């Protein structure tokens, strides 16, 4: 079972969209059993699949050892794709009495997912390097970094690299690659951005870049992945390529 954390140190990097649409590709086109864990209190991943941000089936009661992870896992309308939603209770959960007194609280997510039987688990983290993101890293064996061709996003990669290296001192986790979204092939500073990414993570940028496409936003409002909403749009084509490249990198990592 592969457990993958999708992360960024900045909001607006299409991290949630990347998480959703890669999972869709694996479940629908490659017949994999996939679980999505919405680990961000904003619950954007949950909303993208048609689940409201007020659902009580979240990782919060699992982390507090009040429920089993199977009790909060929901089936989506997409065959092979399950979801653990999020809500506002995840925000600051590490300060609750159940977790604050546990020096190994950051390993609770790891213990919970270890009991599951999926081909892939994707964890969508908050755009920060706080407790939730740290817990996701400790629960994962691989990670994917999300970025956009914008100055602050690329600058944040350096901080994320330091964080990733810090986690590796205590827990083995392999970076599968960097996904670039909102790509404009005619961007005037594309070369400079690509050089910055190459400098931070040499050879790790996915060849498949997700082009800017208004159909993605419209799909979110409909509560569907863009591949269902507009299967022939350019974003759908890009995510299909990304899913194939992702699987090929996983296969190489197993060799």
Q: What is the pLDDT of residue 108?
A: 93
Q: How far apart are CA 52 and CA 47, in angstroms?
A: 5
Residue 174 has a pLDDT of: 92
Residue 62 and residue 69: Cα distance in Å, rounded?
A: 6
Q: Please list the ranges in the chain whose pLDDT falls under 70.
A: 187-188, 253-255
Report the predicted TM-score, pTM, of the whole model to 2 decimal places: 0.94
Asked if 120 and 4 touch (Cβ cutoff 8 Å), the reply is: yes
Which contiguous run of DSSP H or E holds residue 53?
none
- Cβ atoms < 10 Å from Cβ of 120: 22
Q: What confidence score (pLDDT) does residue 202 get?
A: 92
| pLDDT for residue 188 | 64
Question: 160 near 7, Cβ under 8 Å?
Answer: yes
CATH of 2-254, one of 2.50.20.10, 3.40.50.10950, 3.40.50.300, 1.10.357.10: 3.40.50.300
Residue 2, pLDDT score = 96
Handedness of CA 242, 180, 12, 121 (dihedral sign): positive
pLDDT digits (tens, 9 = 90+) for 110-156: 999 999 999 999 999 998 888 999 999 999 999 999 988 887 877 78
Q: What is the pLDDT of residue 1?
A: 93
How far apart CA 5 and CA 143 sit, in angstroms, is 5
Candidates 129, 209, 134, 145; CA nearest to 177 is 145
H/E run at residue 180: strand 174-180
CA 225 – CA 122 distance, rounded (Å) = 15
The Cα 17–Cα 186 span in angstroms is 23
């Amino acid at each position: 079972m592969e457990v993958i954390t999708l992360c960024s140190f900045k909001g607006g990097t299409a991290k949630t969209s990347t998480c959703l649409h890669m999972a869709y590709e694996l479940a629908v086109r490659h017949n994999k059993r996939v679980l999505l864990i919405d680990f961000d209190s904003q619950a954007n991943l949950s909303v993208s699949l048609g689940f409201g941000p007020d659902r009580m089936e979240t990782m919060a009661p699992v982390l507090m050892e009040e429920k089993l992870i199977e009790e909060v896992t929901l089936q989506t309308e997409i065959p092979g794709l399950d979801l653990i939603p999020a809500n506002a209770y995840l925000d600051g959960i590490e300060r609750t009495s159940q977790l604050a007194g546990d020096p190994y609280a950051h390993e609770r997510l790891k213990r919970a997912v270890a009991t599951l039987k999926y081909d892939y688990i994707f964890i969508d983290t908050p755009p920060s390097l706080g407790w939730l993101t740290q817990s996701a890293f400790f629960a994962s064996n691989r990670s994917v970094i999300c970025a956009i061709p914008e100055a602050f996003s690329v600058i944040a990669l350096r901080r994320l690299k330091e964080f990733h290296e810090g986690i590796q001192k205590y827990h083995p986790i392999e970076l599968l690659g960097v996904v670039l979204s909102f790509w404009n092939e005619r961007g005037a500073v594309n070369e400079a951005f690509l050089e910055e990414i190459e400098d931070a993570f040499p050879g790790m940028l996915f060849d498949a870049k997700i082009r800017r496409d208004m159909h993605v936003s419209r799909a979110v409002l409909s509560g569907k992945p863009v591949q269902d909403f507009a299967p022939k749009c350019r974003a759908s084509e890009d995510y299909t390529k990304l899913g194939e490249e992702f699987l090929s990198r996983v296969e190489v990592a197993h060799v």
